[in-house]
Amino acid sequence: MWGARASNAGVDVSLPTIEKPTIPSAARSKPPRRAIPISVCWAVAVVGVIAGGYYLDLVLREPRSMLHLTDLGVYQIAGHRVSQGISLYDTPLLGHTRGVMEFVYTPFAALLFVPLAGLAGVVRSWVAGLGNAAMVVVSAWAALSILGYRRDLRMAALGVPIAGLAMWCEPIRQTTAFGQVNILLLMLVLVDAALPDSARCKGVLTGVAAGIKLTPLFFVLYLLVTGRYRAAGMSVGGFAATVLVGALVMPRDSMTFWSGAFADPARVGVPQNNSNESLRGLLARTVGVAGIHQVLWLVAAAAIAVICLALARRLSRAGDELAAVALCGLTMTTVSPYSWVHHWVFLAPALIVLADLAIRRPGVVTAPIAVATAVIASGGVLPLLDVRASSVFDYHQHSTLYHNAYIWLTLALFAGAAGYLGSGDRMSREVVSADTL
């Protein structure tokens, strides 16, 4: 601007003045993307390649246990029924027992399974194995992007090694073995979260994920409490679009599903099933299914959801977006009526968050928490330590502590997140981040 005036020998001279540019508050609160340290790249690459190579060796030596693809077979039957015009929900896909091998996904999900119906033999195994591995790689890229790392060659190179390490996370390992859809849902949510809030399509992928399986609708609440109203609306719109597509192509099955089949617990099985790793399963096995069980579950689930959303809102505002998303994913799985081990795939981004913290802020707290979480979430690692258990669930099958380990871990991470947010060190780091622009 031209504003200051000086007088010399009676002559007015206009002098330029420089004003400090005003930085929008939104930009000031978001630090620039940082490069992944080269030492970290090499360490993760070496360990990840070894882990991935050993996992691949196990798959090739023991395909019937490591890549049996039982659930993929069920999806293929569903896809075949759609192509033949046979109802999805009137009878179980296999056998005649209610609650066993019934189709519990949306009509839209069944449409996605149609192209898989013809896969068989070695081609089926390769498509399923490589498909899930590729989605883990994309999920790793999205997670690193959410953490604020540069989208460069270093990030691209770390995708495969991180996927190799993730294959030793029990939910990822089990999802791959069963040929489940959970990694697809994880990828859709993480890629959506990695989009900038200014992106007009942000929220759509989360809505599509919910259109495949209803549980990701929990992320709509997260978007609302963090003030991302347009993204929340886009999620609802994306979800509604999947419902509409299913209704147009499969009107009868859509009517059956949305008029009550989606909420019928008998289609899944009894809540006290030993494989049900949700809060409802914990309560059903502890206090039984009669009387107060339902009330206890609803009250406890609502309380856990509220606490999670409060913590996630603060984490998001503090710039810890991936931690917020991972916490919501774990909570979504906790409060769901039924959650098998392979549903807990959001343990993978939680491990990435903790590893990032342990590397950037090594100390007597972060590293032990990261290691403990990795041990609890691991699959196939304990036998390497001469422990006769593939995972923590096998260590003592009738123990309330071990059998519900993921729920206790989620609650422990709640406490850790609350302590992290309340620490003075956390507050000072926010100020430093804000002042780096």
More confident residue, 339 or 13: 339
* pLDDT value, residue 394: 76
* Range with the poorest average pLDDT among 51-55, 205-209, 222-226, 380-384: 380-384
pLDDT of residue 28: 41
- Closest alpha carbon to 135 in 84, 95, 99, 189: 189
For residue 141, CA distances in Å to 28, 145, 210, 356 come to: 25, 6, 22, 14
pLDDT tens by residue, 379-435: 888 787 777 777 887 776 667 778 899 999 999 999 999 999 987 545 444 433 433
As beta bridge partners, residue 16 has: 2
Band of the pLDDT at 136, cuts 50, 70, 90? very high
Q: Bridge-partner residues for 13, per DSSP? A: 6
pLDDT tens across 245-298, in order? 999 999 999 999 999 888 887 788 888 888 899 999 999 998 888 878 889 999
Q: What is the CA radius of gyration of the chain?
A: 25
Q: At 37, list the tokens.
A: 């340290």
Model pLDDT, residue 437? 29
Instruction: Please count the residues of the chain.
Output: 437
30-44, 73-87, 183-197, 386-400: range with lowest mean pLDDT? 386-400
Other CB atoms closer than 10 Å to residue 62's CB: what's the count?
A: 11
For residues 5-17, give the mean pLDDT.
46
pLDDT tens digits for 210-242? 999 999 999 999 999 999 999 999 999 999 999
- Is a pLDDT exceeding 80 seen at residue 87? yes
Q: Which residue would you say has higher pLDDT here, 380 or 327?
A: 327
Residues forming beta bridges with residue 162, ordered by sequence position: none
| φ, ψ at 16 (rounded to 5°) | -75, 140
63-69 contacts, C-beta under 8 A, 24 or more apart: 63/125, 65/177, 66/177, 67/125, 67/128, 67/129, 67/176, 67/177, 67/179, 68/177, 68/178, 69/124, 69/125, 69/128, 69/177, 69/178, 69/179
Distance between CA atoms of residues 114 and 81, nearest Å? 9
Average per-residue pLDDT for the chain? 88
Residue 120 has pLDDT above 60, yes or no: yes
2, 16 contact by CB (below 8 A)? yes
Range of lowest pLDDT (11-20, 100-109, 128-137, 143-152): 11-20
